[in-house]
A and B are shown apart, each in its own frame.
Chain A
Amino acid sequence: MKNFKFIFPFILVCLSAIVWSCSDDDPVIESNDIFDRQAMLANWSDNIIIPAYQAFSTDVDALKSAVEAFETEPNEANLNTVRQEWEAAYIAWQNISMFNIGPAETTFMRSFINTYPANVSSINTNISTGNYALQAANANDEQGFPALDYLLFGLADSDAQILEFYTSNVNASNYINYLTDLVDRINVIANQVVASWEGDYRDTFVNNSGAASNSSTNKLLNDWMFYYEVVFRNGKIGFPAGVFSEGSTLPQNVEAFYKKDLSKTLCLEALNAFQDFFNGEAFEGTTRGESVASYLNFLNTMKNGEDLSLIINNQFDLSITAISNLDDNFFNQINTNNNVMLVAFEELQASVVLLKSDMFSALSVAVEFESGDGD
Chain B
Amino acid sequence: MLEKYTTYLQNSEKAAPLAVFRILFGGLMIFSTLRFVSQGWVNKYYIEPSFHFKYYGFEFVTAFGQYTYILYAITLLSAIGITLGYKYKTATILFFLSFTYCELIDKTYYLNHYYFVSIIGFLLIFLPANCYFSIDAYRNSKIAFRKIPRYNILVIQLMLCIVYFYAGLAKINTDWLFKAMPLQIWLPSRYYLPVLGDLFQKEWMHYAMSWFGMLYDLAIPFLLLFKRTRVFGFVLVVIFHVLTRVLFPIGIFPYVMICATLIFFDASFHEKIISFFRRLFKIKFVENNRALYLIPNVKKKLLTTLFITFFTFQLVFPFRYMLYPDELFWTEEGYRYSWRVMLIEKGGYVQYKIVNPKTGNWFYVDHNKFLTEYQQKQLRTQADLILEFAHFLEKHYKEKGIENPEVYVESYIALNGRLSQQFVNPTVDLTKVNESFSHKDWILPFNDTIYGF
Please list the residues of chain A having a beta carbon within 8 angstroms of any beta carbon in chain B: 1, 3-4, 7, 10-11, 14-15, 18, 21-22, 24, 26, 29, 31, 33-35, 37, 209-211, 238, 242-248, 299, 302-303, 305-306, 308, 311, 349, 352-354, 356-358, 360-365, 367-375
Contacts and interface: CB of A to CB of B under 8 A. Distances in A.
B365 to A, nearest CB: 8
B342 A243 contact: no
A365 to B, nearest CB: 8
Contacts of B294: none
A59 to B, nearest CB: 33
Interface string B415-441: 001111000000000000000000000
Given A303-B417, A361-B185, A362-B185, A374 B235 contact: no
Contacts of A303: 179, 181, 184, 417
B377 interface: yes
B289 to A, nearest CB: 22
Nearest to A36: B191
Interface in B208-238: 231, 234-235, 238
B41 A244 contact: no
A168 B186 CA distance: 67
Contacts of B190: 211
Contacts of B197: 29
Contact of B191 (A22, A211, A369): A211
Given A3-B231, A244-B366, A21 B242 contact: no
B202 interface: yes
Contact of A374 (B188, B250, B269, B414): B250
Given A4-B269, A11-B235, A367 B185 contact: no
B277 interface: no
A364 B373 contact: no
B419 A371 contact: no
A15 to B, nearest CB: 6
B420 A29 contact: no
A211 B242 CA distance: 19
Interface stretch (B22-30, B86-94, B127-135, B356-364): B356-364
Contact of B345 (A14, A31, A33, A361): A361
Contacts of A242: 363
Contacts of B231: 3-4, 7
Interface in B243-263: 243, 246, 248-251, 253
A12 B192 CA distance: 23
Interface stretch (B2-10, B57-65, B107-115, B321-329): B107-115
Interface stretch (B147-155, B300-308, B347-355): B347-355
B189 interface: yes
B249 A15 contact: no
A134 B324 CA distance: 60
Contact of A21 (B198, B246, B410): B246
Contacts of B341: 375
Contacts of B410: 349
Contacts of A247: 356, 359, 361-363
